Structure 1
Amino acid sequence: MEQELLKNNFERHGFKTSFFDTKKAASDYLKDQISGKKVAIGGSVTAQEMGLYEALSEKNEVIWHWKKAGREMLVEARSAEVYITSANGVSKTGELVNIDGTGNRVSQTLFGPEKVYFVIGNNKVCPDLTSAMERAKQIAAPKNAARLQVQTPCAKTGVCVDCNSPARICHSIVILERPSNGMEVEVVFVDEEMGY
């Protein structure tokens, strides 16, 4: 992982950055940083692989619609002080790309929480914004569609065809170039493959 390049480019854009060799070290860091807060976690295989729900539940109220399903949990997450998610693609030039079906995840990264943490495995880092967008559409989205077992072409073939399927999970694409006004955003880079 090109730590200096990522640090320089993301911090130049107003993001905070931190770097860890393992997901365990990153999970321990987040556990130390967040205490006595209302925390929401966006739909994230990365967060699941890191055991963040369990780790953060020790000292926080944690809301995650993967643990208790339903729209009410998505609405409840809006009141969180801290939001944790990942990204579908990350550019070395300092942008975060996310694709969302419901919009709950991307909306929380734009407005609401006091602080947002993006936890990023080395497999999600791409040379530039174009390749980060391509990764989000051609790698992350088909894998998520297959995981969710939706009836879309990409779930069957592993390739995005920009479908109009009613089961489509790609409704919103957000490129976060800089944190929104009034929000603190930290990108937690982990030198391991995590998530899609």
Structure 2
Amino acid sequence: MNRELLKKNFEGRQFIVEFFDDKNSLLSYLKENVKNEVIAFGGSATVSELDLPFVLEEKNSIIWHAKSGDSARYLGFSVDTYFLSANAVSETGYIVNIDGNGNRVAASLFGPKRVIYIIGKNKITPSLEEAMDRARNVAAPKNAKRLSVSTPCAAKGDRCYKCELDNKICRATVIIERATSPRTELLFADFDLGF
């Protein structure tokens, strides 16, 4: 992970950038900096791997879209802090996310007072083109499998098959090239997280 390049390119696009060497330092930072807030989470293997809702629930009010259904998805727009990950980021300063329902990417663009991305080093690519490829051919098939979606990419797990099925998870592809929230933070983990 080229920290200097990531910092330069993302801070130049109005993102707040932090780096963490291990899980403990990342979680300590979050426990210290996210208190007394209403928070929500976009569907994310990264968030699950970190047990983030459980780590932060003691000092915050949590909106669980996974438990509360569609109504909670709308509440994600009005929270203090919204957590998610990215399918891929480029060292050149772009964030790429593919979404099925659109609630995760929508809340990352508009509404919350603060948006925090947690990004494992496995999601970093040199260029936007490689980030797009990673999002479509690595992250999307794994997410489809995780969500038990009946698509060719979920069944084979190796790449996008450009299906046109109603239940496909790649209905929206969003490229973020500048922070849209008043406070958008990128927390880069120098270890693998999610897929």
Q: TM-score, normalized by length of structure 2?
A: 0.96
Displacement, 1:69? 4.2
Residue pairs, 1:14-93, within 5 angstroms: 14-66=14-66, 68-93=67-92
Describe the SS at the equivalent of 2:65: coil
Which consecutive residues of structure 1, in runs of 5 or more, have no partner in the other structure? none
Displacement, 1:64? 2.5
**CA distance in structure 1 between the partners assigned to 2:49 and 2:111 by the alignment:** 26
Displacement, 1:55? 1.2
CA RMSD of aligned residues (A): 1.0
**CA distance in structure 2 between the partners assigned to 1:38 and 1:69 by the alignment:** 15
The letter of the residue matching 2:35 is: S
Residue by residue over 1:155-190, the C-alpha shift from the partner in whole angstroms, topping out at 9 and shown as x without a partner, is 11222011101110111111110012x521010000
1:4 and 2:4 aligned = yes
**CA distance in structure 1 between the partners assigned to 2:137 and 2:23 by the alignment:** 25
| Corresponding position of 1:194 | 193
The letter of the residue matching 2:19 is: F
**CA distance in structure 2 between the partners assigned to 1:70 and 1:111 by the alignment:** 20
Which consecutive residues of structure 2, in runs of 5 or more, have no partner in the other structure? none
Aligned-residue sequence identity (percent) comes to: 47
The letter of the residue matching 1:92 is: E
Residue by residue over 1:56-110, the C-alpha shift from the partner in whole angstroms, topping out at 9 and shown as x without a partner, is 11111011323x1411121222221110100000000111100000111000111
Describe the SS at the equivalent of 1:108: helix
Displacement, 1:120? 0.3
Q: TM-score, normalized by length of structure 1?
A: 0.96
**CA distance in structure 2 between the partners assigned to 1:23 and 1:79 by the alignment:** 28
| Corresponding position of 2:128 | 129
Contact 1:97-1:136 at 8 Å conserved across structures: yes
1:176 and 2:157 aligned = no
Describe the SS at the equivalent of 1:78: helix
**CA distance in structure 2 between the partners assigned to 1:37 and 1:44 by the alignment:** 20
Contact 2:77-2:110 at 8 Å conserved across structures: no
**CA distance in structure 1 between the partners assigned to 2:93 and 2:27 by the alignment:** 23
| Corresponding position of 1:102 | 101
The letter of the residue matching 2:71 is: E
Contact 1:49-1:195 at 8 Å conserved across structures: yes
Contact 1:10-1:94 at 8 Å conserved across structures: yes
